[in-house]
Structure 1
């Protein structure tokens, strides 16, 4: 195939051109003047008509102000192009997904691992501030809220892998700086920055899954990736409590830094770029260089400048939160539950030390129950989520994002969360055996993961082209709630007691129970409302 040259350049063309699937598209301004279109030529009528790989078609550019663009796309057939991430082998796909899932587990683990060590840190820094006692845990999550606003748009401009690798090593560095902090302000500052950098896999991990997995196979992948974000905060205090009791609170950061360093190095060599616009742009650049033809461009290329792209990408999550009722309400639901969870994480050590006289290490072990409940929820969702979609597809029914909000998943989840809070609060209030409030925390963990996974997969499927943005919006609101709601935890319990304090939280969670059912039934109608697409552009 002989690529054309611009009229301002020599009309000579290279004798050979690589065999690639491209789309020949004439300048739209000249479309009506082409004789081929008047003669009924199909490719002229449809500018996106695909030229089969290997065809040697001579395309001669008109000697005018227009030129022919060569639109670079996946090689035909698309479902066999090895460069398309959707066609990668299961081994490569799952290696990438599991790697970002491990990082997504470690990051929130760091967020809560200081919880059982707070009193030790306060003694070391000679402070009695109750604000510091909760903020040293929740400020990390505040970094979660700010990070996606910057990292998500950068990933859409430069690719996912480069952001993963840079932030992984920044996360490592800031965690090390936490270990050598000399005062409250220094520790709080580096906790915030480590949360900011570490949130990358949580903010854009969903985008990687969309790149790699077709819709009917995403449920399991999202479940595995999501579980780390909930299980991590429950495992963190176990490690933090043990290391603090054995070696001191600073070694808590050194131990986790070693783990982060190992995973960051593995990720550097294992992770591959999956973002289609970046992959296709690389392909177009290669063709332009090999053929000396400047008119190859990616089908997904944007005409916006880098500054405009970043600005638009930063604004999109906020715009979705404000303009889309689905995003607003669903993200608010997740944020409220997440904030309540972090309130519990920040106060568990105080509750079990004061009421049950647990040691620092034992106070860390109380998070095991929530972890068990979370794992049970992951298996439950994994069993029913993709299975429901496959059954509908096999029956010839249309598969919609609303199928992710099946009542068999959302109803048990939305009821289990407040039920666990009631059980936990009143059993502590009555000072019954510690195993009873532990069962309550397990039930709460079970309910939370059912809601988190079902809502995240729903948002990803409903906003497939904006997966990173919608999950970024979710992360911003969730992180803000996770940082601020815990600040009221100890004061709430002081004012209302353990029973009514947790009951108040349970009543708030109960108010959201109808939400998944409403959007499961009417979500498709809401998404089809006139102007909806404009709201998320």
Structure 2
């Protein structure tokens, strides 16, 4: 994707009169040092061999795919779990909710640690902890214990969603950043739907315990790959070489004072959460993600009931409608962002990126209506699939547009911005599982999904339009 504005690759960022001693974790080096970097300096990750970079990147992709994919792994297994534990299917489905919520906060906690201790220790140790949390969930014998382990899985397992951006920026040249970020970003779109599908296929042939046992083994393989192929990518010229053992514990990864660095980046996180453009677009992300996540976590209870009566294999296969919709949303978002830039290239302003939400918003509204009315009147399951595809096109397309805007507006804080947007989307996903089933039981599928379509339309318009107006006025004042 074309980026019309240059990126400020400075070492220091001033916040409220305080200057950070930190090298911005979005940029490995300032522009002049990137150009003059010694190509023989193998401490610089950009000079590593192509094989070493590829193996590390594949390990990162595996961790990132598991972040969301493993969190909703049990989405197709809530019915057999409910039968085993003697609880309702609706209650069983809430086992994922706290984990989804804590994914957002886990990402926020990770950003200061990444700056203070480096990328590698903040990547590897949460990965190890998450593996054991999945093992604990596998061995659980009641809903409460299972939910506790799943919640901690969400808290620690989300780190790759945040750490991937600085690793890519450290390891690849600026020309390679868009391509590698797009490849890495596909894991967030495919994971939430591929994970439950695989879990259902495995559970259909065995049981839910074996399915989670397979997930534990997959996490184990991913952890071994991180241990073997992972490395510290933080680079600063003149920094003494870091030992392999030391890098595991954050010793020598950076030259920064730990306490002041942690405190500084905590302040940065709080400051950026309440910046008007990020706050408003973040709320738009929250609303946009709420209903699709509600579909993802509750659809099985409808598919297994009349008139559809899907078995586990059929319900798991329906998840590929979500995959198709997510990839379609990414493609729509990519095309629209490129088209918007070309159309307004002569007088470019960053807020033009936000115009990319209108088509995805329309798709989501139509999708919610199609999905809800198909189920309400018991029509063919193809209507459910098409509705879900349109909903996910809207969800991902909106996120692509908002993320492109936010990262372009705050390029010096791209990882902070990514963590904040990740927090907003998981907050929406957490809440819906608690009120949607009771709401549907009270008012019916048709009315509920119709109201959801109205809420999405009104909320996104009320969040995006003020940002467009405010940024336009600011541009006029600046020009004057």
| Superposed pair shares fold, TM > 0.5 | yes
1:374 pairs with 2:321: no
- Please name the residue that 2:304 is paired with: 353
- Please name the residue that 1:431 is paired with: 378
- Please name the residue that 2:27 is paired with: none
**Over the residues paired in the alignment, what is the CA RMSD in angstroms?**
3.4
Structure 2: distance between partners of 1:425 and 1:171: 36
Structure 1: distance between partners of 2:258 and 2:319: 44
Where in structure 2 are the equivalents of 1:211-230 lying within 5 Å? 211-212=170-171, 218-230=177-189
Structure 1: distance between partners of 2:295 and 2:471: 32
Where in structure 2 are the equivalents of 1:151-170 lying within 5 Å? 151-170=110-129
Structure 2: distance between partners of 1:463 and 1:427: 42
1:142 pairs with 2:142: no
Structure 2: distance between partners of 1:200 and 1:145: 10
- Please name the residue that 1:101 is paired with: 61
Structure 1 residues 286 and 372: alpha-carbon distance in aligned structure 2, compared to 1, 3 A threshold: closer
Normalised by the length of structure 2, the TM-score is 0.80
Structure 1 residues 442 and 367: alpha-carbon distance in aligned structure 2, compared to 1, 3 A threshold: same
- Maintained 8 Å contact 1:204/1:471: no
Where in structure 2 are the equivalents of 1:462-481 lying within 5 Å? 462-481=409-428
Unaligned runs of 5+ in 1: 1-70, 288-296, 531-537
Give the superposition deviation at 1:193: 0.9
Structure 2: distance between partners of 1:102 and 1:192: 20
- Please name the residue that 2:134 is paired with: 175
After superposition, the C-alpha distances for 1:321-350 in whole angstroms (9 at most, x for unaligned) are 22x011101111112222222211121011
Structure 1 residues 493 and 172: alpha-carbon distance in aligned structure 2, compared to 1, 3 A threshold: same
Normalised by the length of structure 1, the TM-score is 0.73
- Maintained 8 Å contact 1:422/1:502: yes
Q: Which protein has greater RCO, CA pairs closer than 8 Å, 6+ apart?
A: 2
- Maintained 8 Å contact 1:219/1:382: no
Give the superposition deviation at 1:372: 0.9
1:317 pairs with 2:273: no
Give the superposition deviation at 1:519: 4.5
Match among 183, 192, 200 for residue 241 of structure 1: 200
- Maintained 8 Å contact 1:410/1:454: yes
1:327 pairs with 2:278: yes
After superposition, the C-alpha distances for 1:425-467 in whole angstroms (9 at most, x for unaligned) are 0111111111111101011111211122222233223222222
Aligned residues: 437
Structure 1: distance between partners of 2:236 and 2:155: 29
Larger Rg: 1
Structure 2: distance between partners of 1:81 and 1:459: 35
Give the superposition deviation at 1:420: 0.7
After superposition, the C-alpha distances for 1:87-112 in whole angstroms (9 at most, x for unaligned) are 66776656544432332222211222
